[in-house]
Structures are given as structure tokens and as C-alpha cells.
């Protein structure tokens, strides 16, 4: 009886560990409020506030406007908020497994922290965040230099956008940049 019990325990532990070892889970989206709990103070650089005041925060809400609706109906005969063709640049986490969407994530928060920095379920803890290396290992996106950053912006700021206007990186970065203040 005892032996059987031990076997069941071992089996349970093994099946619990197995999937995490063999098939690393993809990272999940946490939502702006989660990132914002730490990235909001003056000392940290007020990233939450800077983002809230940027147009990225209302990118999804833009799709709910009459102007967007007209564009989407004309191009795809669909509502903009239901068109993957619009959501791919105006929202985050479209079409991914619901298990990877955290309780605080809100789709109507548009282009969010994690849209650019990568889904944060594994790097959001203070212990991981304190080390850039560990954060990157756990899914944080970083860019080698300014050229790489500009390229990442242009994955959305390009001619596929029905309202495209020429993208001038320096001007645009000026509007959304959110550096940690130098100590
Ligand atoms: C528990 C607090 C905490 C949470 C939650 C948190 N962070 Fe951080 N994050 C930190 C700390 C501390 C640093 C260290 C940076 C510093 O202040 O020098 C950091 C650093 C960063 C950096 C800079 C990395 C580098 O060195 O280039 C980015 C980008 C970042 N966080 C994004 C996010 C995003 C996106 C989220 C939400 C998914 C998030 N953080 C959630 C505390 C947190
Ligand atoms: C996931 C897609 C996506 C990425 C990546 C992205 N943007 Fe945007 N951006 C948008 C959308 C969509 C809007 C329009 C939001 C609205 O008006 O509703 C926008 C709007 C803006 C605006 C406001 C436009 C204006 O004329 O004031 C600025 C500034 C901006 N983005 C800068 C950047 C920069 C800089 C980068 C790269 C670091 C970047 N964006 C990356 C999708 C993106
Ligand atoms: C390739 C990425 C991309 C796609 C796809 C995209 N957008 Fe956008 N959208 C942007 C960006 C970036 C901006 C802000 C700057 C600009 O217009 O170039 C924007 C801005 C807008 C604006 C605001 C324009 C203004 O004058 O303030 C509307 C409305 C809009 N998009 C509607 C749509 C609709 C509707 C769809 C789907 C039919 C769509 N977008 C698809 C990237 C995209
Ligand atoms: C449109 C894309 C985009 C969005 C949205 C965005 N970031 Fe960033 N973030 C960047 C880029 C690009 C950098 C610059 C990285 C670099 O200089 O290497 C950056 C830098 C940072 C840094 C490091 C600053 C430093 O000086 O080291 C932190 C912290 C950060 N972001 C947190 C956030 C948080 C929190 C949010 C949401 C409230 C957010 N970001 C939203 C693209 C974005």
C-alpha cells in the first residue's frame, strides 16, 4: 500500500514537471496595470503616465469610431473591431489562447507595454526584473540599437496602414519615449 502511494506521488510530480521541461509554455499577457504597479513613480520614469497620455493607449478605441468603421467596411466589409486586418496593429494578444490572457489584461488598452516589450508573465516579478539578463531570458524584448527600435516601430507604422503618414522616427520617439531618469 505504502509503495503504491509513493509511486502515485512520484508519477504526479513527474507529470507536473514534464510539460514545463519539455515544452516551455509560451508567455502570457499581464496588462498595463500590472506593469504600471512598478513603472509609475517619478524615480522610475513614469512610464505608465507617459503611455496613458500617448495615442497608443487609445489605439483600440480608435477602431470603435465612425471613421474607422467606414474604412473597415469599405476595405473588408467588416466592423473594424472585428477585423484581424485592423486589430493586428491597433490591439494586442489577438487570437491567442485565452489561457495566456491574464485577469488584468484589457484589449481596449490598445498598443500596450507588452505589445512592444513582449508578454510579461515570466519576467514581471521584481526578482527577475532587477536583472536585465534574467528578464530577457524570460521573454523581455530588447533592441540592439536605434536602427532596430525604428524597425520595430515600422512593423506597424508602414504603408499597410490605411491612414499612413510618413513615419519620422526622431519626432515620433520624442512623443512616446519613456526613459528611466539617470541617477
Ligand atoms: C514588481 C515590479 C515590476 C513589475 C510588475 C514590472 N517591472 Fe519592469 N522593471 C522593474 C525594475 C525594478 C526594473 C529595473 C530597472 C531600473 O529601474 O533600473 C525594471 C526594468 C524594466 C525594463 C528595462 C529593462 C532594461 O534594462 O532595458 C523594461 C523594458 C521593463 N521593466 C518593462 C516592464 C513591463 C513591460 C512590465 C509588465 C509586463 C514590467 N516591466 C513589470 C520592476 C517591475
Ligand atoms: C503594434 C503596432 C505599433 C507599434 C509596434 C508602434 N506603434 Fe505607434 N501607433 C500605432 C497605432 C495603431 C497608432 C494610432 C493610434 C490611434 O491614433 O488610435 C500609433 C500612433 C503613434 C503615435 C501618435 C501619432 C501622432 O501623430 O501623434 C506616435 C508618436 C507613435 N505611434 C510612435 C511610435 C514609436 C516611436 C514606435 C516604436 C518605438 C511605435 N509607435 C510603435 C501602432 C504601433
Ligand atoms: C500596419 C498597421 C496598421 C493596420 C493594419 C491598420 N492601422 Fe490604423 N493606424 C496605424 C498607425 C501606425 C496609425 C497612426 C499613424 C498613421 O496613421 O500612420 C493608425 C491610425 C489610424 C486611425 C486614426 C487616423 C487619424 O487621423 O487619427 C484610424 C481611424 C485607423 N488607423 C483605422 C484603421 C482601420 C479601420 C484599420 C483596418 C481596416 C486599420 N487602421 C489598420 C496602423 C495600422
Ligand atoms: C510602442 C512601443 C512601446 C510601448 C507601448 C512601451 N514601450 Fe517601453 N520602451 C520601448 C522602447 C523602444 C524602449 C527603448 C529601449 C532602448 O532604449 O533600448 C523602451 C524602454 C523602456 C524602459 C527602459 C527605459 C530605460 O531608460 O532604460 C522601460 C522601463 C519601459 N520601456 C517600460 C514600459 C512600460 C511599463 C510600458 C507601458 C506602460 C511601456 N514601456 C510601453 C517601446 C515601448
Question: How far is ligand 2, taken at its centre, from the CA of residue 3, in Å?
Answer: 61
C-alpha closest to that of 169 among 137, 142, 145: 145
- Residue 4 CA to ligand 2 center (angstroms) comes to 60
CB 86 within 8 A of CB 80: yes
Nearest CA to ligand 4 atom 2: 116
Cell of 172: 515620433
pLDDT tens digit sequence for 76-92: 999 999 999 999 999 99
Tens of pLDDT, residue by residue over 99-150, are 999 999 999 999 999 999 999 999 999 999 999 999 999 999 999 999 999 9
Task: Return the ligand 3 atom nearest residue 75 CA.
Answer: 38
CA distance 143 to 78: 35
Amino acid at each position: 500500500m505504502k509503495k503504491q502511494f509513493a509511486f502515485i506521488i512520484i508519477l504526479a510530480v513527474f507529470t507536473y514537471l514534464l510539460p514545463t521541461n519539455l515544452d516551455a509554455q509560451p508567455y502570457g499577457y499581464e496588462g498595463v496595470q500590472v506593469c504600471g504597479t512598478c513603472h509609475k513613480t517619478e524615480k522610475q520614469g513614469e512610464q505608465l503616465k507617459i503611455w496613458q497620455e500617448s495615442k497608443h493607449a487609445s489605439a483600440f478605441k480608435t477602431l470603435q469610431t465612425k471613421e474607422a468603421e467606414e474604412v473597415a467596411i469599405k476595405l473588408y466589409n467588416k466592423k473594424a473591431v472585428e477585423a484581424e486586418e485592423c486589430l493586428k496593429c491597433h490591439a494586442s494578444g489577438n487570437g491567442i489562447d485565452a489561457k495566456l490572457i491574464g485577469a488584468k489584461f484589457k484589449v481596449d488598452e490598445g498598443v500596450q507595454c507588452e505589445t512592444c516589450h513582449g508578454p510579461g508573465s515570466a519576467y514581471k516579478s521584481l526578482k527577475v526584473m532587477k536583472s536585465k539578463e534574467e528578464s530577457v531570458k524570460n521573454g523581455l524584448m530588447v533592441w540592439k540599437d536605434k536602427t532596430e527600435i525604428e524597425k520595430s516601430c515600422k512593423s506597424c507604422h508602414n504603408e499597410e496602414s490605411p491612414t499612413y503618414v510618413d513615419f519620422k522616427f526622431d519626432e515620433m520617439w520624442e512623443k512616446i519615449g519613456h526613459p528611466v531618469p539617470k541617477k
